[in-house]
C-alpha cells in the first residue's frame, strides 16, 4: 500500500485513517465479526475510489454515485458480502461481476489470492484500473466485458460476488463455482434480497439473507 499523502485527494487522505477507524467501529456495531474483513476495509482508502467532491462522505456508511448511473456500494454491504463469501477461510480465486469503481475488488484483493472483476461500462473499467494501479494492487484482473455469463476461461472460482441484481440465478454462473465454493448475490426486481449459494458434492444450496438494493444487471457492453 502506498503512502496516502502522495495520492490525489491528499487533503482528505490526512484525516482518512481516523474517519476510516470510525467506520470500522460502526461496521462492528452493525454485526460484522470477521476481523480479516474489518482489517481489509480499514486498509483500503475508500475516498480514492470516488469523486473528490464527495470526499467528505467517503467514510459514511452510504452508497454514493460514481457516474454513468452507477454507485459505489454501501460499506456495510461490501463488508457483509465479503464476510459471507469468506466464511472464515482464506479465498483462492474470486470473481466479481460489476467492478464499478473497483472498491469491492480492492477489498477482495486483501482476502483472496487472485481476483477477477468484470465491468460492462468502459469508462468505469478504465477508472477502476487506474485507481487500483495507483494503490499498487496487482492481484486484481479487470476485464471490460459483459459479465452476465461469468468468466469461463478463468473458472472455477471458490468465491463469486455479484454487485448488480439479476432476476434469477444463472445456471452458467453457478457452474463456475468449485465444489465447496460460495456465491453471494442480490436477486429480485421489485424487492431484492441477498442470497448465498453453496456448492457441495451433492449440488447447490440456496439461502436468503437480508433485503438489499442494488443496480440491475444489464446485458451487453457500453
Catalytic residue list: 73
CA distance 25 to 32: 10
CB of 217 to ligand SAH, least distance (A): 4
119 lies in the site for ligand SAH, by CB under 6 A: yes
Question: What letters, b where the CB count within 10 A reaches 16 and e where it falls short, cover 76-97?
Answer: bbbbbbbbbbbeeeebebbbbb
The residue range among 1-9, 79-87, 146-154, 195-203 that interacts with ligand SAH, by the rule CB under 6 A, is 146-154
Residues 75, 23: contact at Cβ < 8 Å?
yes
Name residue, grid cell 453471494.
184
Candidate list 118, 132, 155, 183; residue touching ligand SAH; CB under 6 A: 118
Which residue in 82, 109, 148, 192 binds ligand SAH (CB under 6 A)?
148
194: Cβ contacts below 8 Å, ≥ 6 apart? 80, 81, 84, 184, 185, 186, 208, 209, 210, 211, 212
- Residue window 161-200: x/- pattern of binding to ligand SAH, with contact defined by CB under 6 A: --xx------------------------------------
97 is an interface residue for ligand SAH by CB under 6 A: yes
Buried/exposed 127-144: b ≥16 CB within 10 Å, e otherwise: bbbebbeebebeebebbb
Size of the site for ligand SAH (CB under 6 A): 25
Output 14 or 172, the one with its CB closest to ligand SAH.
172
Give me the residues that bind ligand SAH (CB under 6 A), please: 70-73, 97-101, 103-104, 118-121, 124, 146-148, 163-164, 215, 217-219
Amino acid at each position: 500500500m502506498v503512502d496516502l499523502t502522495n495520492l490525489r485527494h491528499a487533503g482528505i487522505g490526512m484525516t482518512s485513517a481516523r474517519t476510516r477507524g470510525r467506520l470500522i467501529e460502526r461496521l462492528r456495531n452493525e454485526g460484522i465479526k470477521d476481523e480479516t474483513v474489518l482489517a481489509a476495509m480499514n486498509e483500503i482508502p475508500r475516498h480514492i475510489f470516488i469523486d473528490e467532491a464527495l470526499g467528505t462522505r467517503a467514510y459514511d456508511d452510504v452508497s454514493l454515485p460514481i457516474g454513468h448511473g452507477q454507485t459505489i456500494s454501501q460499506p456495510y454491504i461490501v463488508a457483509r458480502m465479503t464476510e459471507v463469501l469468506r466464511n472464515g477461510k482464506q479465498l483462492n480465486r474470486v470473481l466479481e461481476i460489476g467492478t464499478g469503481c473497483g472498491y469491492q475488488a480492492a477489498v477482495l484483493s486483501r482476502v483472496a489470492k487472485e481476483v477477477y472483476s468484470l465491468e460492462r461500462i468502459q469508462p468505469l473499467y478504465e477508472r477502476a484500473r487506474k485507481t487500483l494501479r495507483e494503490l499498487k494492487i496487482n492481484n486484481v484482473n479487470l476485464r471490460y466485458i459483459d459479465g452476465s455469463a461469468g468468466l469461463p476461461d478463468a473458472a472455477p472460482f471458490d468465491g463469486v460476488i455479484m454487485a448488480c441484481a439479476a432476476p434469477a440465478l444463472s445456471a452458467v454462473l453457478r457452474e463456475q463455482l468449485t465444489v465447496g465454493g460460495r456465491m453471494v448475490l442480490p436477486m429480485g426486481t421489485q424487492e431484492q434480497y441477498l442470497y448465498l449459494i453453496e456448492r457441495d458434492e451433492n449440488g447447490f444450496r440456496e439461502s436468503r439473507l437480508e433485503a438489499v438494493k442494488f443496480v440491475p444487471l444489464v446485458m451487453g457492453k457500453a
